Amino acid sequence: MGIRHFAHQTVILLIITAAAYASAEEDTRSVQADFDRCKSTMERVDRSIQRYKDIIIRLKQLSRTEGDSASRTGASLESRFDHFRGRFDRASGQADKIRDDLKNIKGPSCPSCVSSSVNMYCRNAETLLNDLEEHIAKAADLENRMVDRSTHKDAGNPQERSESLSRRRIAIDSIIGLRKLQLDSCSFPSAKALWLQCRINLHKSDSLIASKDYVAGGETLDIAELLIRKALDVCGNR
């Protein structure tokens, strides 16, 4: 009777232990799934940081004709970029630690230890993305207003119009220089087509501006800039 009772208790203990470990494995998978989802959000943050940087480059070009106020605004936006970059870098360090913790989980209670870190990482990812998108919208609105002022101011002066278009061309070249590897290696057919059309329109714009057709040259440059932005969106968001 004692042996049977001991055997029965042993079986129950084994069942409980197996259930505990099965539950732990399920918890681990759940935590890993949450972490993977939030890593995707952080990847979007990384792309948005680059978009913000691209806008700052263009704003710095435009601010050369806008005076001290625009320069101060550009400096403020650039400092926010450094702030976002720092937050992203700290989140990357946090992600590295979480990866190590997930690899080393042992026992039925450990997933809960990592879960709180993952939850914090996820909150940081969402907050950072929202803050970043808000500042991108503000910077893009400022850029549009500065372009409108520059276009209006330079419309009646061929020399200033030429210089304005030249600054815009330099800003586009800066973006291409930073992202050319991404554009050239992007495998999406639609992005390849957009990038090709961008280069065609840039060449056409250069020819029009060289022949002093500043209106058509500016319109073609607008198209080229729109095409490169769309190409980068396709490459970065898929």
**216, 129, 113: which is closest to 165 by C-alpha?**
216
In angstroms, the CA 209 to CA 235 distance is 30
Nearest Cα to 137, choosing from 237, 238, 233, 51? 51
Residues 45 and 131 in one domain: yes
Q: Are residues 212 and 100 in the same domain?
A: no
Share of the chain above pLDDT 70, in %: 74
Tens-digit pLDDT profile for residues 183-203: 788 888 888 888 889 999 999
- Which of 119, 139, 154 is where one domain is finished? 154
Residue 40 has pLDDT above 70, yes or no: yes
Q: Cα–Cα distance between 216 and 213 in angstroms, integer?
A: 6
146 and 171 together in one domain: no
Counting the structural domains of the chain, the total is 2
Q: Which two tokens stand for residue 75?
A: 């400096």
121 and 200 together in one domain: no
| Residue-wise pLDDT tens digits, 97-123 | 888 888 776 554 455 668 888 888 898
C-alpha torsion sign, points 227, 229, 188, 133: negative
The per-residue DSSP string of the chain comes to -HHHHHHHHHHHHHHHHHHHHHHHHHHHHHHHHHHHHHHHHHHHHHHHHHHHHHHHHHHHHHGGGT-HHHHHHHHHHHHHHHHHHHHHHHHHHHHHHHHHHHHT--STTHHHHHHHHHHHHHHHHHHHHHHHHHHHHHHHHHHHHHHHHHHHHHTT-HHHHHHHHHHHHHHHHHHHHHHHHHHHH---HHHHHHHHHHHHHHHHHHHHHHTT-HHHHHHHHHHHHHHHHHHHHHHH--
pLDDT of residue 150: 61
Q: Are residues 194 and 222 in the same domain?
A: yes
Rounded average pLDDT over 169-185? 80
| Domain shared by 167 and 180, yes or no | yes
Whether residues 49 and 146 share a domain: the answer is yes
**Chain centre distance of CA 92:** 14
| One domain for residues 132 and 163 | no
What confidence tens digit (pLDDT) does each residue in 117-167 have?
Answer: 888 889 898 889 888 888 887 787 777 777 766 655 555 567 777 777 888
* CATH number of residue 27's parent domain: 1.20.140
pLDDT tens string 67-89: 555 567 667 777 888 889 999 99
Q: Are residues 115 and 210 in the same domain?
A: no
In terms of residue numbers, what domain contains 60?
A: 1-154
- Report pLDDT for 66: 56
Select the more confidently predicted residue: 90 or 13: 90
Residues 235 and 176 occupy one common structural domain: yes
Token pair recorded at residue 121: 């990482």
